[in-house]
Amino acid sequence: MIVALIDSGFGLLPTAAWLRKLRPDVDLLLQLDPEGAPWGPRPQDWVVDRVVSAARTARDLGAEVVVLPCNTASVTALEHVRADLGAGVPVVGTVPAIKPAAAACRSVAVWATAATTASPYQADLIARFGGEAKVTGVACHGLAEAVDRGDMAGVRAAVADAAARTPADVEGVVLGCTHYPLIVDTIVAALPDGVRLFDSAQAVAAQTVRRVEALGGPAIGDGTVRVYLSGRPGELPPGAAAYEPGRLLGAG
């Protein structure tokens, strides 16, 4: 059983980690797009084409379940991917954890990329699941990109900017981009004491496991992880000279 996870960058890692914990026997195909990243500022049609193309590649490489552990990809392209792959390949999207946050907190901020914050999809989620809570969208400009670059000065600056635009009475912050759990300590340090964080990686992984098990039979595998990257071979670290765009990079 091969499960593919598709994201522009490192945002797929929290969901991959939970999948490894829940079903260590499942083989994972991690598809990152350094050539096209970041997806957030890109035009909608461009993102749809990019994500659908990546999903087709996943299918061709043997993936039986496809996961979009990326809010931008899910908001923009989830239904397009499902239509393209058909009913035979389950596709799991990512939804910001607005419902549990609103159930537990009176004031909630949803930190996300500018594209997700402005999307009708997020507005609909807030309307459907916000309940009695006050829910505010906060666009975190440049934060996902800084995470992908490993630019901690940029991360701290983007987090500080988002925190400054977050309501003072906030009780819960929804991490509405899958990159953000990777710098959770920085986010916690920028928020008032006692603010709760909510993210969806565990829930997405659990849903993926349900889809895997619904296919029937054991998920026979040895826990192999393969990484598939788009272009930019000239920017790879030393020792990767044999890399070619679109080539699978090893197992481990």
Q: 63 with 4: CB under 8 angstroms?
A: yes
User: Is 233's pLDDT higher than 80?
Assistant: no
Confidence of residue 198 (pLDDT cuts 50, 70, 90): very high
pLDDT at site 38: 84
User: Is 248's pLDDT higher than 70?
Assistant: no
Confidence of residue 217 (pLDDT cuts 50, 70, 90): low
Confidence of residue 218 (pLDDT cuts 50, 70, 90): low
Q: Which of 45, 58, 80, 64 is nearest to 7 (CA)?
A: 58
d(CA 136, CA 98): 11
pLDDT at site 66: 98
Can you tell me the mean pLDDT for 14-20?
95
Which distant-in-sequence residues (6+ apart) come within 8 Å of 64 by Cβ? 1, 2, 3, 89, 212, 215
pLDDT at site 136: 97
User: Is 237's pLDDT higher than 80?
Assistant: no
Q: How many CB atoms lie within 10 A of CB 214?
A: 9
User: Is 1's pLDDT higher than 80?
Assistant: yes
pLDDT at site 246: 40
Can you tell me the mean pLDDT for 22-30?
94
Catalytic residue IDs: 70, 177
User: Is 239's pLDDT higher than 60?
Assistant: no
Task: Please write down the HEC assignment for all residues of 138-202.
Answer: EECCCHHHHHHHCCHHHHHHHHHHHHHCCCCCCCEEEECCCCHHHHHHHHHHHCCCCCEEECCHH
d(CA 168, CA 92): 34
Confidence of residue 219 (pLDDT cuts 50, 70, 90): low
36-40, 94-98, 172-176: segment of lowest average pLDDT: 36-40
59-63, 117-121, 217-221, 247-251: segment of lowest average pLDDT: 247-251
Q: What is the mean pLDDT of the chain?
A: 89
Q: Residue 112 is encoded by which pair of tokens?
A: 């996300």
